[in-house]
């Protein structure tokens, strides 16, 4: 069993969680506003702090401000398990394949302090 865990930001279609869990039932994938996750409307900097404290890689489609938020987060001495940026120009199926492949072949610390644009 892999220890890599995903947190889907609030703008990621819930289809991603359903399909990832259908493909990989042991995968831990939460979404913003789940019971133990940050609530909707939580600021991106606070989401990064939560991800670090809880060991979740953030999956987002926020290509505009997330690079700046991660840079500021790191400059403040924090760390991040990683951020995976979805690519809107590719189909959901391709992105699901990427996320499943990353989960199956990567370690939890492989993306530490990185923002990675999908596909790899």
Is residue 87 pLDDT above 70, yes or no?
A: yes
pLDDT of residue 64: 87
Q: Where are the domains of the chain?
A: 5-117
3-state secondary structure of 31: strand
Q: How confident is the model at residue 112, as a pLDDT?
A: 97
Closest CA to 57 of 35, 93, 118: 118
Question: What pLDDT sits at residue 101?
Answer: 95
DSSP state of 32: T
Please provide the CATH number assigned to the domain covering 5-117: 3.40.50
What's the pLDDT tens digit per position in 46-82?
Answer: 999 999 999 999 999 988 899 999 999 999 999 999 9
């Amino acid at each position: 069993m892999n220890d890599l865990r995903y947190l889907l930001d609030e703008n990621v279609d819930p289809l991603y969680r359903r399909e990832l869990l259908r493909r990989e039932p042991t995968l831990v994938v939460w979404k913003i506003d789940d019971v133990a996750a940050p609530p909707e409307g939580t600021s991106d900097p606070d989401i990064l702090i939560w991800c670090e404290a809880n060991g979740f890689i953030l999956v987002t489609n926020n290509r505009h401000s997330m690079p700046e938020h991660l840079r500021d987060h790191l400059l403040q001495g924090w760390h991040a398990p990683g951020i995976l940026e979805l690519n809107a120009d590719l189909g959901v199926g391709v992105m699901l394949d990427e996320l499943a492949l990353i989960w199956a072949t990567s370690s939890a610390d492989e993306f530490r302090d990185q923002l990675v644009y999908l596909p790899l």
